[in-house]
Homo-oligomer: A and B are copies of this chain.
Amino acid sequence: MSLAFGILGFLNYKPMSGYDLVKAFDSSVEFFWHAQNSHIYLELKKLEKQGYIKGETVIQEDRPNKKIYSITDSGREEFMAWLAKSEGEEALHFKSAFLMKVFFGGNMPPEQSAEMLRQFKAECESYLRKMGSIPESIESYGSGKEAYQTLYWQFTADFGRRLIETFIEWAGQCIDRLEAIS
């Protein structure tokens, strides 16, 4: 897919500026869909040209002016069509340079690979600590009425937590096996 649908999705909740979108991506989908600010601004222009969103400049006195984008009917149609389309087996695909390094780990002595895995595990553990605050932030964001929306945000956050826990368990077991032979 592309960033475009993520932007349409957020604008479908409410109109936002490019700056708002950068923050929205950063604070929610960042862990499974990282977005550069430059890319977001580029994509906004493209989407406007395609007629899926429309921008309106808002003049501010105490702050720099900004451009608020809203989703159009055709944009909403496009977004809903994307949402309804099945990913098929592509849903299972992902890219990881780290796993590639593990795969070729036999080219390093066991202590070095073990160290790589220890660093990775530490990274996961620190990430998990940071994630602790997500459930509360979701609850504060969705105030009663939008509980149905926030349920899905909880789903993805829950997956993130499980994924990291799986990573930690797995790395621990790999480290054990490497320590046993070194």
- Residues of A near any B CB (own CB < 8 A): 1, 5-6, 9, 12, 28-29, 31-34, 79-80, 82-84, 86-108, 110, 112-113, 116, 119-120, 123-124, 127, 146, 148-153, 155-156, 158-159, 162-164, 166-167, 169-170, 173-174, 177, 181
Contact = CB atoms under 8 A, between A and B. Distances in A.
A102 B155 contact: yes
B101 A83 contact: yes
Contacts of A9: 100, 103-104, 107
- How many copies of the shown chain assemble into the complex? 2
A175 to B, nearest CB: 10
A156 B31 CA distance: 21
A82 B98 CA distance: 11
A95 B148 contact: no
Contacts of A151: 106, 177
Overall SS of chain A's interface: helix
B99 A96 contact: no
A68 B97 CA distance: 25
Contacts of A177: 151
A152 to B, nearest CB: 4
Nearest to A160: B99
A83 B108 contact: yes
Contacts of A93: 31, 34
Nearest to A123: B89
Given A103-B9, A103-B153, A159-B170, A120 B91 contact: yes
A159 B162 CA distance: 13
